[in-house]
Amino acid sequence: MASPEIDALTQALARLPGLGPRSARRAVLHLLKRRETALAPLVRALQAVEANMSTCDTCGNVDTRNPCGICTDSRRDVSQLCVVEEVADLWALDRARLFPGRYHVLGGRLSALDGVRPEDLNIEGLVTRIAAGGVEEVVLAMNATLEGQTTMHYVADRLEKLPIRITQLAHGVPVGGELDYLDEGTLAQALKARRPVS
Protein backbone atom coordinates (compact mmCIF):
# COMPACT_ATOMS: atom_id res chain seq x y z
CA MET A 1 0.00 0.00 0.00
CA ALA A 2 2.56 2.55 1.13
CA SER A 3 5.16 3.98 -1.24
CA PRO A 4 8.73 2.64 -1.28
CA GLU A 5 9.88 5.74 0.59
CA ILE A 6 7.36 5.23 3.40
CA ASP A 7 8.15 1.51 3.56
CA ALA A 8 11.85 2.28 3.84
CA LEU A 9 11.24 4.75 6.66
CA THR A 10 8.99 2.29 8.51
CA GLN A 11 11.68 -0.38 8.25
CA ALA A 12 14.45 1.97 9.38
CA LEU A 13 12.42 2.98 12.44
CA ALA A 14 11.37 -0.60 13.21
CA ARG A 15 15.05 -1.49 13.63
CA LEU A 16 15.46 0.92 16.54
CA PRO A 17 15.48 -0.73 19.99
CA GLY A 18 12.07 -0.37 21.61
CA LEU A 19 10.18 0.01 18.32
CA GLY A 20 8.64 -2.95 16.48
CA PRO A 21 6.88 -2.94 13.09
CA ARG A 22 3.59 -1.83 14.64
CA SER A 23 4.93 1.09 16.62
CA ALA A 24 7.14 2.05 13.66
CA ARG A 25 4.02 2.38 11.51
CA ARG A 26 2.39 4.55 14.15
CA ALA A 27 5.54 6.66 14.39
CA VAL A 28 5.61 7.14 10.59
CA LEU A 29 1.97 8.18 10.59
CA HIS A 30 2.68 10.57 13.46
CA LEU A 31 5.51 12.11 11.42
CA LEU A 32 3.45 12.32 8.21
CA LYS A 33 0.64 14.10 10.02
CA ARG A 34 3.04 16.58 11.61
CA ARG A 35 5.39 17.52 8.83
CA GLU A 36 6.47 20.86 10.30
CA THR A 37 6.30 20.08 14.01
CA ALA A 38 7.64 16.50 14.12
CA LEU A 39 9.10 15.32 10.80
CA ALA A 40 11.20 18.39 9.98
CA PRO A 41 12.66 18.76 13.52
CA LEU A 42 13.56 15.06 13.60
CA VAL A 43 15.28 15.27 10.19
CA ARG A 44 17.26 18.33 11.28
CA ALA A 45 18.21 16.76 14.63
CA LEU A 46 19.45 13.59 12.92
CA GLN A 47 21.37 15.55 10.29
CA ALA A 48 23.07 17.66 12.96
CA VAL A 49 24.14 14.56 14.86
CA GLU A 50 25.23 12.71 11.73
CA ALA A 51 27.29 15.66 10.52
CA ASN A 52 29.06 16.25 13.83
CA MET A 53 29.30 12.99 15.73
CA SER A 54 32.63 11.50 16.62
CA THR A 55 34.29 9.25 19.16
CA CYS A 56 36.21 11.14 21.83
CA ASP A 57 39.93 10.43 21.43
CA THR A 58 40.41 10.86 25.17
CA CYS A 59 37.68 8.73 26.74
CA GLY A 60 35.85 6.85 23.96
CA ASN A 61 32.51 8.62 24.54
CA VAL A 62 30.41 9.41 21.47
CA ASP A 63 29.57 13.10 21.14
CA THR A 64 29.31 15.86 18.58
CA ARG A 65 32.57 17.29 19.91
CA ASN A 66 36.05 15.78 20.21
CA PRO A 67 37.24 15.87 22.97
CA CYS A 68 33.73 15.28 24.28
CA GLY A 69 31.63 17.50 26.53
CA ILE A 70 32.64 15.54 29.61
CA CYS A 71 36.38 15.64 28.91
CA THR A 72 36.24 19.41 28.33
CA ASP A 73 34.01 20.16 31.34
CA SER A 74 36.27 22.06 33.72
CA ARG A 75 33.85 21.51 36.62
CA ARG A 76 34.62 17.79 36.54
CA ASP A 77 36.94 16.32 39.16
CA VAL A 78 39.95 15.12 37.14
CA SER A 79 41.21 13.06 40.07
CA GLN A 80 38.40 10.52 39.64
CA LEU A 81 38.11 8.27 36.61
CA CYS A 82 35.25 5.84 36.06
CA VAL A 83 35.99 2.94 33.70
CA VAL A 84 33.01 1.42 31.86
CA GLU A 85 32.53 -1.23 29.20
CA GLU A 86 30.37 0.71 26.75
CA VAL A 87 29.22 4.24 25.94
CA ALA A 88 25.74 3.15 27.07
CA ASP A 89 27.10 2.56 30.57
CA LEU A 90 28.76 5.98 30.63
CA TRP A 91 25.44 7.57 29.71
CA ALA A 92 23.56 5.54 32.32
CA LEU A 93 25.94 6.65 35.07
CA ASP A 94 26.16 10.23 33.91
CA ARG A 95 22.43 10.70 33.33
CA ALA A 96 21.78 11.86 36.88
CA ARG A 97 25.28 13.32 37.35
CA LEU A 98 26.00 10.60 39.90
CA PHE A 99 29.74 10.68 39.27
CA PRO A 100 31.67 13.95 39.53
CA GLY A 101 34.75 12.78 37.63
CA ARG A 102 35.49 11.70 34.10
CA TYR A 103 35.11 8.41 32.27
CA HIS A 104 37.00 5.87 30.23
CA VAL A 105 35.19 3.58 27.80
CA LEU A 106 36.87 0.22 27.22
CA GLY A 107 34.68 -0.54 24.21
CA GLY A 108 33.58 -4.00 25.41
CA ARG A 109 34.45 -6.72 27.89
CA LEU A 110 36.82 -9.66 27.79
CA SER A 111 35.09 -12.72 26.35
CA ALA A 112 36.61 -16.06 25.43
CA LEU A 113 33.31 -16.95 23.76
CA ASP A 114 33.25 -13.87 21.52
CA GLY A 115 37.03 -13.84 21.09
CA VAL A 116 37.47 -10.45 22.76
CA ARG A 117 41.04 -10.20 24.08
CA PRO A 118 42.70 -7.48 26.22
CA GLU A 119 44.25 -5.89 23.13
CA ASP A 120 40.75 -5.47 21.66
CA LEU A 121 39.79 -3.14 24.51
CA ASN A 122 41.09 0.38 25.12
CA ILE A 123 43.17 -0.64 28.14
CA GLU A 124 46.44 0.86 26.87
CA GLY A 125 44.70 4.21 26.52
CA LEU A 126 43.57 3.91 30.14
CA VAL A 127 47.09 3.16 31.38
CA THR A 128 48.47 6.08 29.35
CA ARG A 129 45.84 8.48 30.74
CA ILE A 130 46.60 7.49 34.33
CA ALA A 131 50.37 7.58 33.75
CA ALA A 132 49.99 11.18 32.57
CA GLY A 133 49.09 12.05 36.16
CA GLY A 134 46.27 13.72 38.04
CA VAL A 135 44.14 10.64 38.56
CA GLU A 136 43.86 9.56 42.20
CA GLU A 137 41.02 7.07 42.04
CA VAL A 138 39.84 4.71 39.32
CA VAL A 139 36.31 3.33 39.75
CA LEU A 140 35.92 0.09 37.81
CA ALA A 141 32.22 0.16 36.84
CA MET A 142 31.88 -2.99 34.77
CA ASN A 143 28.62 -4.88 34.46
CA ALA A 144 27.97 -7.42 37.21
CA THR A 145 28.19 -10.25 34.70
CA LEU A 146 30.82 -12.97 34.65
CA GLU A 147 32.59 -11.34 31.72
CA GLY A 148 32.26 -7.87 33.25
CA GLN A 149 33.82 -9.04 36.49
CA THR A 150 36.60 -10.90 34.65
CA THR A 151 37.33 -7.68 32.79
CA MET A 152 37.31 -5.72 36.04
CA HIS A 153 39.87 -8.00 37.66
CA TYR A 154 42.05 -7.94 34.55
CA VAL A 155 42.03 -4.13 34.47
CA ALA A 156 42.65 -3.96 38.23
CA ASP A 157 45.72 -6.20 37.78
CA ARG A 158 47.00 -4.00 34.97
CA LEU A 159 46.68 -0.87 37.14
CA GLU A 160 48.02 -2.50 40.30
CA LYS A 161 51.44 -0.86 40.24
CA LEU A 162 50.17 2.65 39.62
CA PRO A 163 49.91 5.04 42.60
CA ILE A 164 46.12 5.21 42.56
CA ARG A 165 43.16 3.93 44.54
CA ILE A 166 41.22 1.30 42.60
CA THR A 167 37.58 0.80 43.57
CA GLN A 168 34.60 -1.10 42.22
CA LEU A 169 30.87 -0.48 42.40
CA ALA A 170 29.23 -1.78 45.57
CA HIS A 171 27.00 -4.76 45.45
CA GLY A 172 23.69 -3.23 44.79
CA VAL A 173 24.04 -3.86 41.10
CA PRO A 174 21.92 -7.01 40.74
CA VAL A 175 23.89 -10.11 39.72
CA GLY A 176 23.62 -10.50 35.97
CA GLY A 177 22.34 -6.95 35.67
CA GLU A 178 23.47 -4.46 33.08
CA LEU A 179 24.08 -0.87 34.17
CA ASP A 180 22.16 0.68 31.37
CA TYR A 181 18.91 -0.94 32.57
CA LEU A 182 19.16 0.13 36.21
CA ASP A 183 17.24 2.92 37.87
CA GLU A 184 19.17 5.89 39.18
CA GLY A 185 18.54 5.00 42.82
CA THR A 186 20.27 1.66 42.47
CA LEU A 187 23.13 3.24 40.55
CA ALA A 188 23.49 5.93 43.21
CA GLN A 189 23.64 3.35 46.01
CA ALA A 190 26.16 1.21 44.17
CA LEU A 191 28.36 4.22 43.50
CA LYS A 192 28.11 5.56 47.06
CA ALA A 193 29.10 2.22 48.62
CA ARG A 194 31.96 1.53 46.23
CA ARG A 195 34.89 -0.30 47.81
CA PRO A 196 38.49 -1.25 46.97
CA VAL A 197 38.91 -4.10 44.48
CA SER A 198 39.67 -7.19 46.61
Cβ closest to Zn ion, residue 61 vs residue 168? 61
DSSP per position, 120-183: GSTHHHHHHHHHTS---EEEE---SSHHHHHHHHHHHHHHTTSSSEEEEPPBTBPTT--GGGS-
Query: Which of Zn ion, a copy of itself, none sits in contact with 56, Cβ below 5 to 8 A by type?
Result: Zn ion
Among the candidate windows 63-71, 73-81, 122-130, 167-175, which touches Zn ion by CB under 5 A?
Answer: 63-71
CB 198 → a copy of itself: shortest distance, Å? 31
Strand 137-140 and strand 80-84: the pairing is parallel
DSSP per position, 90-105: HHHHHTTT---SEEEE
CB 158 → a copy of itself: shortest distance, Å? 25
Query: Which of Zn ion, a copy of itself, none sits in contact with 171, Cβ below 5 to 8 A by type?
Result: none
Cβ closest to a copy of itself, residue 29 vs residue 146? 29
Confirm if 10 and 25 have CB atoms less than 8 A apart: yes
- The footprint of a copy of itself (CB under 8 A) covers 1-6, 8-9, 11-13, 15-19, 23, 25-33, 35, 38-43, 45-50, 52-53, 62-65, 68-70, 87-88, 91, 94-95, 97, 180
The amino acid occupying position 54 is: S
For residue 140, state whether it binds Zn ion (rule: CB under 5 A).
Answer: no
**Burial class of 93 by CB neighbour count within 10 A (0 to 12, 13 to 18, 19+):** buried
Query: Which of Zn ion, a copy of itself, none sits in contact with 59, Cβ below 5 to 8 A by type?
Result: Zn ion
The amino acid occupying position 46 is: L
Rounded distance, CA 175 to CA 143, Å? 9
For residue 71, state whether it binds Zn ion (rule: CB under 5 A).
Answer: yes
Query: Which of a copy of itself, Zn ion, none sits in contact with 146, Cβ below 5 to 8 A by type?
Result: none
For residue 144, state whether it binds Zn ion (rule: CB under 5 A).
Answer: no
Residues 33-62 that bind Zn ion (CB under 5 A): 56, 58-59, 61
Cβ closest to a copy of itself, residue 67 vs residue 125? 67
Give the closest residue to 88 by CA, choosing from 167, 17, 21. Answer: 17
